[in-house]
Homo-oligomer: A and B are copies of this chain.
């Protein structure tokens, strides 16, 4: 088998589509070595989202800093038969030497706004497309889903429980990271806790209860070992489980330290109410109720609206795969080469030419509208894209601070127009306009291309 367990895909120059390498060789042969600018953006806001929260930049910059082909990579490529020795020698010494402009992680973003802008020699800028898209697309989709879940929980604790059904190991880590970025309290995934320094949560599964001959015995043993734990009560019958917790509290008196019960099945709203009443009438008003089955922002909003006395939500699958919007039409497009703006005119896929900047107008503390202009234009509003990497070196502003991104995501949502903050599609989408300059550039270029044909 050609498998090499050592390849970390996030560190591998071969995490790229073959056409990137084919084009790179063509650029080499044709001497097309000028500077190119590519922009990453999505074309349309899906009906089920009012905004996105940008994420994934940190992994992109780490990848760019370390980009290189190993000998092993080059041997593999040589075996493909389509790459010349000269080109492979070129790859051997290739490093990323370009500049990167980007919106900081945690920023609210909208359709057609560049999230990442890469300015680099053509060959380098082209080769990195696959990884840049792979990371920014998914992390942005995941952070944005999590932001909705956190908003629906309105102050109640949200914990990511999605690692088992996220799409592979990288997705599980990124869901943990982006949920935290979007305001979740933490994750169940231990490796994410280690890697990102975020809180990890978890106590027991049904298997623990099942493995004991008796549920009450399981509760007693576990709480003896872990004070202030959460007890899972629904393995056989939720309310019977709650009563066993209450019996335990009577038996242990002041030594009883259970901090919460978890409900994971059945009619959660009704069961939470009944559980609350049982606990309260047993003097256990301080024991919280945590729920965790088939949660997402819609379900949480429903439960909150029902008045169910729930203190926290374990949110798994639906958040982890962003099941209502598992993908957006994000693309990485050439906008400038050799100092000249470039466009594409494929039906429904027209792109504005040239490097851009986003200008964000704030009015009375609220986001009022964005204007996408030429990068060189001076327009009203805060410029959102920042230089985060220069000549292949990450700048201080490009260094990941997950907590700073988390704070930014929270502040951004606080200044979003109210209509956009709900779960339902807003009737008044956030206004994103295109500057007159940029509009003229598109028309001019369109005319030129048409004339050529």
A interface list, Cβ under 8 A from B: 1-12, 14-23, 25-27, 29-30, 32, 36, 38, 62, 73, 76-77, 80, 82, 122, 126, 129-131, 133-135, 137-138, 141-142, 161, 163-174, 188-191, 193-197, 200-208, 210-212, 214, 221-222, 225-226, 229, 234-237, 240, 264-267, 317-318, 320-321, 323, 326-327, 330, 332-334, 337-338, 342-349, 400, 449, 452-453
Number of copies of chain A assembled together: 2
Decide: B134 and A22 in contact? CB cutoff 8 A: no
Q: A17-B161, A76-B194, A134-B172 are in contact. List 18 more A-B contacts (CB 8 A).
A: A2-B195, A15-B172, A17-B164, A18-B193, A21-B202, A32-B211, A76-B190, A80-B200, A129-B164, A137-B164, A142-B167, A167-B321, A236-B346, A236-B449, A237-B345, A237-B453, A265-B346, A321-B327
Residue in B closest to A122 when the chains form the complex, CB atoms: B211
- Given the complex, which residues of B lie within 8 Å of A10, measured CB to CB? 169
Task: Report Cα–Cα, A362/B23, bound state, in Å.
Answer: 50
Task: Report Cα–Cα, A314/B344, bound state, in Å.
Answer: 20
Other-chain contact of A189, B15, B141, B348, B349 (Cβ < 8 Å): B15
Contact of A347 with B8 at beta-carbon distance under 8 Å, contacts A2-B194, A171-B170, A197-B2 already known: no
Task: Report Cα–Cα, A19/B266, bound state, in Å.
Answer: 22
26 A-B pairs in the complex with CB atoms less than 8 angstroms apart: A1-B400, A3-B195, A3-B196, A5-B8, A9-B172, A17-B188, A17-B202, A18-B200, A22-B204, A25-B225, A26-B225, A76-B193, A134-B165, A142-B167, A167-B167, A167-B326, A210-B337, A210-B343, A211-B334, A236-B345, A265-B348, A265-B349, A267-B347, A317-B327, A318-B327, A323-B326
- Given the complex, which residues of B lie within 8 Å of A14, measured CB to CB? 190-191, 194
* A-B pairs with lowest CB-CB distance, top 6: A18-B202, A168-B170, A19-B202, A9-B169, A167-B167, A265-B346
- Given the complex, which residues of B lie within 8 Å of A19, measured CB to CB? 188, 202-205
Decide: B326 and A134 in contact? CB cutoff 8 A: no
Residue in B closest to A38 when the chains form the complex, CB atoms: B207
Chain B: minimal CB distance from A310 (Å): 18
Task: Report Cα–Cα, A348/B265, bound state, in Å.
Answer: 8
Residue in B closest to A186 when the chains form the complex, CB atoms: B18
Task: Report Cα–Cα, A124/B120, bound state, in Å.
Answer: 49
- Given the complex, which residues of B lie within 8 Å of A141, measured CB to CB? 167
Task: Report Cα–Cα, A208/B123, bound state, in Å.
Answer: 10
- Given the complex, which residues of B lie within 8 Å of A134, measured CB to CB? 163-166, 168-169, 172
